[in-house]
Amino acid sequence: MDQPNILLGRIDNRLVHGQVGVSWTNYLGANLIVVADDEVAHEEVQQELMELTAVTSGAEIRFFTVQETIDIIWNASDDQRIFIVTRTPFEMLKLIEGNVPIKKVNIGNMHFEEGKHQISLKVFVDDEDLKNLHAMQDKGIEVFIQEIPGKMAEQFK
């Protein structure tokens, strides 16, 4: 295998829910969802809830820390069509800097928190988020905002 077949990276602070586990997975034709999140990698209850969503799309789902994802992604088999999901831009950038070959990053949901400002209907960012998203673009990654397939994508600027 030349490299793992990563279809898309998505930033979504809810990780895997209906939009990710069904809509995006089916749209992409993914057969494996990789959740790269240091907290969820050790939380069985959260994993079980996400597994229930993923199974409706027919995809398998795996939960790893960000570092575990970096360490094992190159062991993916040729037939795996991978959809990677992280909670924040920081985690996605760590994957990219760790040589995970992600070419496109979709910003889905980043909810309001104190200190964040709105850049799209469901995307709120702070200076750190913006720095990390621009760093991805500086590495040649296509970064766009799109809640669900079928809605108009906005290029992140």
Instruction: Give residue 55's pLDDT.
Output: 86
pTM exceeding the 0.85 threshold for the entire prediction: yes
Work out the number of other CB atoms within 10 angstroms of the CB of residue 122.
16
- Cα separation, 100 vs 117, whole angstroms: 29
From residue 11, how far is each of 2, 16, 77, 78, 145 by CA, in Å? 25, 10, 24, 24, 10
What are the beta bridge partners of residue 117?
125
Structural domains of the chain sorted by starting position, each given as residue range(s) with its CATH number in brackets: 5-149 (3.40.35.10)
- Cα separation, 42 vs 38, whole angstroms: 7
For 71-114, the pLDDT digits (tens) are 999 999 999 999 999 999 999 999 999 999 999 999 999 999 99
Active site residues: 17
For 145-154, the pLDDT digits (tens) are 999 898 889 8
Joined together, the tokens standing for residue 112 give 């309001």
- Cα separation, 147 vs 128, whole angstroms: 21
End-to-end CA distance of the chain: 34
